[in-house]
A and B are shown apart, each in its own frame.
Chain A
Amino acid sequence: MSRQMTGAEMVVQALKDQGVDTIFGYPGGAVLPIYDAIFQQNDIRHILVRHEQAAVHMAEGYARSTGKPGCVLVTSGPGATNAVTGLTDALMDSIPLVVFSGQVPTFMIGTDGFQEADTVGITRPCTKHNWLVKDADKLAEVIHQAFHVATSGRPGPVLIDLPKDVQFATGTYTGPKQARTENYQPKVKGDIEAITRLVELMETAARPIFYTGGGVINSGPAASQLMCELVDATGFPITSTLMGLGAYPASGKNWLGMLGMHGLYEANLAMHDCDLMINLGARFDDRITGRVSDFSPKSTKVHVDIDASSINKIVRVDLPIIGDVGHVLEDVLKVWKARGRKVNKEGLAKWWGRIEEWKKVRCLAYAGSETVIKPQYALERLEALTKGRDRYITTEVGQHQMWAAQFLHFDAPNRWMTSGGLGTMGYGFPASIGVQIAHPDALVINVAGEASWLMNMQEMGTCSQFRVPVKQFILNNERLGMVRQWQDLLHGGRYSQSWSESLPDFTKLAEAFGWKGIVCSDPKDLDDAIMEMLEHDGPVLFDCLVEKHENCFPMIPSGKPHNEMLLSADAEAFSSGAALV
């Protein structure tokens, strides 16, 4: 299929041919031809945002909850620079995005023209790849290649910078099948010898653990399914990073809960004491490892990752397997079954015995209250009252995010969207909009902190305009809670700039945008208030006034090993001076 059309028409045609139904964007001078092409068709829905950063986070929410790439359209200069935080966020968390930015006409590039920015230069380190297209005849192929790169191998954001004259110019359109993609074909099958070696290790290990991450979810639903099969068949315990929650069901019998800085006691101690660590699609982030030199000192480490650069980057592993988690798991299962489904039963029984002891510590225990809503309690009630529903959760960044990861439970992948690698305050609200647009009938809740939520609150208008019924559940502690917590534990309680001053009246704010506003401060009213939120057929801003001085535990202070975790009871005794990271 090849036809003559303008560059702007090609953008729309290529999106259709790639199966895109929604694009998040904001117009400006340098993308007017594309907006004109969008105006003249009905296949692709354009969601008009209120800030380009939010457009990118919406596309992330859309992508992560569907497994399809998210698409964004922004203008040149400020439109593109506003997208940078979102691109960096997507790069850190391996989210596939295709972002189109307008650019000044080719003959003006380099002249400091109006709204000119070196967009490919600025976004080079925060995209998986980017292109400046100067020739309309090459545009269609570049767009198709962009989708291929964004979604193949380790997924990530890509950007196409489109000078205005190229959008006006006529060229030949070619379809996705004609695009050359053979130059970029990451290896998906793991080395079968290495896989066999892994099975041998699994057969004899006395204290094995699966340590899983976002890569399992990125690999697709089949990978999660295969992983559950393997975990249940072997009887090995499993823990996951923040990014991997839901790949193995939280209701599953082998689930230890999340690991890491605010992970569960049993998960972190099991990681510390295991003799075989099987890392599936996780990357030994510093929020997971704590002090690297003391990280799981007694274990043989196996690392399955599609990105060769993740291997031996932080932690040296004994057995690397480069490949797609889903493909590798398929082979692991085959080999393990063919060799007689062996495990070290005796060792495992003892291992579970130790884990059960650790569980008795009840590391998530907190002091309840009759008079003030504890944030943990609010989440326990939210969990109880939404159980069994078709539910998607996004979060902002801070204490509420960690509590949400601890107290909400996910039984399926793609149901939990949070900013892990970059930790971007302002992510959750727009991400929830993106999720809701992809799943119009589902229950979509953003668990937010009041400070984070304000960072992209302008998107209330987007929700009203497109009738997006997202629920914004704000755990309002009137504090930059996570900052306050570090100051409390590590900076002598000097709370420098870590409170939320001059907050709006959230219910009036809701009203101003035609939303429903709910405020709740008494634990006795909480259930009714949550039900009121769930029953409302439209966007809700829920101002949940919670305990202001609650700290989030367990906590591994940064730079400490897993077995020096703080529980709430130890916290008072702890004081160690400032942390470096």
Chain B
Amino acid sequence: MAALNIKKGATSHSAYDLRDTHSDVESSHTLAVIVDNEAGVLARVIGLFSGRGYNIDSLTVAEIDHKGHRSRITIVTRGTMAVVEQIKAQLGRIVPVHAVIDLTTEAQPVERELALFKVQGTGEKRVEALRLADIFRANVVDSTLESFVFEVTGTPEKIDAFAELMRPLGLVDVARTGVAALSRGI
């Protein structure tokens, strides 16, 4: 008594339907959520993630169209295909949400994050920090005789790597913006 034989993807134009949503493999997805910039909209999005037990690895938000009162929320989340599909559908249900774009599924997106690192030290360590900062194309945006603040932009991985290198050299504070992302090409 086999199930009726149904052609996968026969009724859809989206490549998603050809993929197995039941896979147990978790992956990271960068979602762009276009919303009306109205009071409480960020709380709605965050409340959805906490209320339904989804992960947020990174979240950024800013108005991108002042006249149209539109904001773009970039969320990096993690889950199986089925969970990520559910997250997208749940986001799409929020009344002031206009679009949910799964940048990871559509194409490898361009992802950038900005971070500030305060590194304290003197002598050899201070020189080494400055040398490494140069390799990472970090800018020195503040300096005293005993400290630097470096500004680094890049992928989250690059920023993680920089943080690792700075730790033994006197890293005292980090501030990161979270990921901003756009799809490649047009």
**Residue numbers in B under 8 Å from A318 (CB-CB):** 3, 6
Question: How many angstroms from the CA of A193 to the CA of B40 in the assembled complex?
Answer: 39
A312 at the interface (CB under 8 A from B): yes
B43 and A191: CB pair below 8 A? no
In the complex, which residues of chain B have a beta carbon less than 8 angstroms from the beta carbon of A308?
89, 92-93
Given the interface contacts A125-B51, A312-B21, does A191 sit within 8 Å of B95 by beta carbon?
no
Query: Which residues of B in the span 43-102 have a Cβ within 8 Å of any Cβ on A?
Result: 43-44, 47, 51, 82, 85-86, 89-90, 92-93, 95-96, 98
CA distance A428 to B10 in the complex (A): 46
Query: A residues within 8 A CB of B144?
Result: none
Q: By the criterion CB–CB under 8 Å, are B1 and A298 in contact?
A: yes
User: Nearest chain-A residue to B22 (Cβ)?
Assistant: A316
Q: Are B40 and A124 in contact (CB under 8 A)?
A: yes
Contact of B11 among A191, A204, A299 (CB under 8 A): A191
> Cβ of B1: which chain A residues have Cβ within 8 Å of it?
275, 298
Bound complex: CA A204 to CA B82 (Å): 29
**Chain B residue at minimal CB-CB distance from A120:** B40
Task: Scan residues 121-160 of chain A and give those whose CB is less than 8 A from a CB of chain B.
Answer: 121, 124-125, 128-130, 132, 149
User: Does the CB pair A125–B47 fall under 8 Å?
Assistant: yes
Q: Is B2 in the interface zone, CB < 8 Å from A?
A: yes
Inter-chain contacts of A128 with B (CB < 8 A): 95
CB distance from A562 to the nearest CB of B (A): 16
Chain B residues positioned under 8 Å from A309 (CB to CB): 86, 89-90, 92-93
Within 8 A of A (CB), among B17-42: 21-22, 36, 39-40
Residue in contact with A319 in the complex, picked from B11, B22, B82, B98, CB distance below 8 Å? B11
Q: Is B15 an interface residue (CB 8 A)?
A: no
- Among A176-210, those with CB < 8 Å from B are 183-184, 191, 193-194, 197, 201, 204-205
- Inter-chain CA distance A299–B11, complex, in Å, is 18
Specify which of B11, B43, B86 is in contact with A197 (CB 8 Å cutoff): B11
Kindly report which residue of chain A lies nearest to residue B44, judged by CB atoms.
A124
Let me know if A563 is at the binding interface, CB within 8 A.
no
The answer on a CB contact under 8 Å between A121 and B43 is yes
By beta carbon, the residue of chain A nearest B11 is A194
Of residues B6, B12, B92, which shows the largest number of chain A Cβ atoms within 10 Å of its Cβ?
B6
CA distance in complex: A83, B89 (Å): 28
- Count, A-B residue pairs, CB within 8 A: 67
Q: Does A300 reach chain B (CB closer than 8 Å)?
A: yes
Chain B residues positioned under 8 Å from A276 (CB to CB): 4
**A201→B4 contact, CB < 8 A:** yes
Given A125-B47, A183-B36; A299-B6 close (CB under 8 Å): no
Cross-chain contact A193 with B2 (CB below 8 angstroms): no
| Nearest B-chain residue to A201, judged by Cβ | B4
Contacting pair B39 A312 (CB below 8 A): no
The reply on A313 being an interface residue by CB < 8 A is yes
Chain B residues closer than 8 Å to A319, beta-carbon distance: 6, 11
Partner of B3, one of A184, A275, A313: A275
Residue contact B39 to A132, C-beta cutoff 8 Å? yes
Q: How far is the CB of A474 from chain B (nearest CB, A)?
A: 36
Does chain B have a CB within 8 A of A311?
yes
| Contact between A299 and B3, CB atoms less than 8 A apart | yes
Determine the residue in chain A with the shortest Cβ distance to B95. Answer: A129
Contact with B along A305-330 (1 / 0, CB 8 A): 00111011100101100000000000
Known: A124-B44, A308-B92. A316 touches B4 (CB 8 A): no
Number of interface residues of B (CB under 8 A): 27
**Contact: B47 with A124, CB < 8 Å?**
yes
Interface residues on chain A, size class:
20 to 34
> Which residues of chain B have C-beta atoms less than 8 A from A311's C-beta?
89
Assembled-state Cα–Cα distance A313/B51 (Å): 15
Shortest distance between the CB of A483 and any CB in chain B (Å) = 27
CB within 8 Å of A: which B129-183 residues: none
The answer, among A149, A201, A313, for a CB contact under 8 Å with B95, is: A149
Q: How far, in whole Å, are A194 and B98 apart by their CA atoms in the complex?
A: 25
Q: How far is the CA of A128 from the CA of B96 in the complex (A)?
A: 11
Residues of A within 8 A of B39 (CB): 132
What distance in Å separates the Cβ of A302 from its nearest Cβ neighbour in chain B? Answer: 9
Pick the contact of A316: B6, B36, B82 (CB < 8 A).
B82
Docked CA distance A318–B5 (Å): 10
Residues from chain A with a CB closer than 8 A to the CB of B93 are 307-309
Q: Which among A184, A201, A298 is the interface contact of B6 at CB below 8 angstroms?
A: A201
A132 CA to B39 CA, complexed, in Å: 8
Q: Is the CB of A300 within 8 A of B44?
A: no
A residues near B51, Cβ cutoff 8 Å = 125
How far is A300 from B10 in the complex, measured between Cα atoms in Å? 14
Residue of B nearest to A197 (CB): B11
CA separation between A308 and B40, bound complex, in Å?
A: 23
Task: Find chain B residues with CB under 8 A from A125 CB.
Answer: 47, 51
Nearest CB on B from A125, distance (A): 6
CA distance A184 to B94 in the complex (A): 10
A171 to chain B, nearest CB (A): 19
* Residues on A with beta carbons closer than 8 Å to the beta carbon of B3: 275, 298-300, 318
B-side contacts of A191, CB under 8 Å: 11-12
B19 vs chain A, min Cβ distance (A):
12
Complex CA–CA separation, A42 to B96 (angstroms): 36
Which residue, of A307, A312, A316, has the highest number of chain B Cβ atoms within 10 A? A312
Q: How far is the CB of B42 from chain A (nearest CB, A)?
A: 11
Task: Give bound CA distance, A276 to B3, whole Å.
Answer: 8
Min CB–CB distance A348 → chain B (angstroms): 14
Q: Please, which residues of chain B bring their CB within 8 A of the CB of A201?
A: 4, 6
Q: Tell whether A197 pairs with B4 under 8 Å between CB atoms, given A125-B47, A183-B98, A309-B89.
A: no
Whether A205 and B82, one on each chain, are in contact in the complex, defined by CB atoms closer than 8 angstroms, is no
State in angstroms the CA–CA spacing of A201 and B4 once bound together: 8
- Report how far A197 CA is from B11 CA in the complex, Å: 7
Q: A121-B43, A309-B89, A316-B82 are in contact. Are A205 and B11 (CB under 8 A)?
A: no
Q: Which of B1, B2, B21, B82 has the most CB of A within 10 A?
A: B1
Q: A124-B44, A128-B95, A298-B3 are in contact. List 13 more A-B contacts (CB 8 A).
A: A125-B51, A191-B12, A194-B11, A197-B11, A275-B3, A275-B4, A276-B4, A300-B6, A309-B86, A309-B90, A316-B21, A318-B6, A319-B6
Q: Which residues of B contact A (CB under 8 A)?
A: 1-4, 6, 10-12, 21-22, 36, 39-40, 43-44, 47, 51, 82, 85-86, 89-90, 92-93, 95-96, 98
Report 28 cross-chain contacts, Cβ distance below 8 Å, ordered by A residue: A121-B43, A124-B47, A125-B47, A128-B95, A129-B96, A132-B39, A149-B95, A183-B96, A183-B98, A184-B95, A191-B11, A193-B10, A194-B11, A197-B6, A197-B10, A201-B4, A205-B4, A276-B4, A298-B1, A300-B3, A307-B93, A309-B89, A312-B82, A312-B86, A313-B86, A316-B21, A318-B6, A319-B6
9 smallest beta-carbon distances between A and B, as pairs:
A309-B89, A194-B11, A129-B95, A300-B4, A308-B89, A197-B11, A309-B90, A318-B6, A193-B11
